[in-house]
Amino acid sequence: MNVLPSGYYDRTERLISPAFRRKRVMVVGCGAASDLVLKLARLGPKHLTLIDPDIITASNLTRTAYTVDQLGRAKVEALRDLIASANPAVEVSAVWHDATALDDSEIDALAEDCDILLATTDSFFAQAMVNRLSQRLQVPAVFVGVHEGAMGGIVLASIPGETGCYRCAMAARYDAAETQPAESVDLAGAHGLMVDIAFIDAIALKLVLAILERGEATLLGSFLQNSGGRTFVVCRTSPQYQWGNELWQAILGRLPTSPHGYQRELEQEALFCMDSLWLRLDRGPCPDCQAPA
């Protein structure tokens, strides 16, 4: 049954365009991002393709949308059922498989006709695969990385031909992957509170919606245009997030320190955590998106 109750979309009218109901999304990684995907499904895209090789364990339950009665099930199948309960009008393809084990023809077939790719996995090689897929098919992608303890993370929106790609932003991880064991270049995001993960995921979902709504007569339709090309977002959920702190200090260091002490006042009196830095992601010399040197 895929009939929605009358008035289901009443409170998203003029915020989400009718064209959104035709959008198709591929998601690689259905662990901590399960709540993000469920929120996306409530807005009513036409089709979601979910790819993940894992099953639900007890330790997943405090930081995901899954429930106790779903323990031991494949994440993609359990998430498909949660989506059906939340919005039965959304079509879902559940692919219980390691995306990195698929060859190009198989992953291309799954991504066919997709409007956006969403990479929400700790695996470097899965993120790298989605980046190549995005560039090969010329389909926008959003990448989410939750760092240790969910003290912070990054969200990166890549639009082929317009912005830099995941490889442009993460060149150091690519270099490390050539000499280090696979697990050492994966993100250490296994621990973290759902409240912090939700903050990072909310920014990712905002960018997903902004890409899908580009050019529509909605608030989100002009979001990317108004962003000035700032599609690389550093999210800070803890004042102990070193990378986020260093970036804030670098930016604040450009402000006047006198006569009113703007830098000190902002750092010590206003900024703390649960904030984000929106940066431009320029295209650099990159084997994936082929930007010239």
What residue type is assigned to position 135 of the chain? Q
User: Does some domain include residue 172?
Assistant: yes
Residue 20: which pLDDT band, with cuts at 50, 70 and 90? Answer: very high
User: Does some domain include residue 260?
Assistant: no
Number of domains the chain contains:
1
Give the helix ranges, DSSP H, for 187-290. Answer: 194-212, 223-226, 242-252, 262-265
User: Does some domain include residue 291?
Assistant: no
Boundaries of domain holding 155 = 18-239+272-280
Model-level pTM?
A: 0.94
User: Does some domain include residue 290?
Assistant: no
Residue 21, pLDDT above cutoff 90: yes
User: Does some domain include residue 77?
Assistant: yes
For residue 102, the Cα-to-chain-centroid distance in whole angstroms is 21
Q: Which residues pair with 178 in a beta bridge?
A: none
Residue 182, pLDDT above cutoff 90: no
Per the CB < 8 A criterion, the answer to whether 49 and 110 are in contact is yes
**Please, what is the average pLDDT of the chain?**
92
User: Does some domain include residue 247?
Assistant: no
User: Does some domain include residue 57?
Assistant: yes
Residue 224: which pLDDT band, with cuts at 50, 70 and 90? Answer: very high
Residue 89, pLDDT above cutoff 90: yes
User: Does some domain include residue 255?
Assistant: no
Residue 178: which pLDDT band, with cuts at 50, 70 and 90? Answer: confident
pLDDT in tens, 206-223: 999 999 999 999 999 999
Tell me the CATH number at 186. 3.40.50.720
Residue 43, pLDDT above cutoff 80: yes
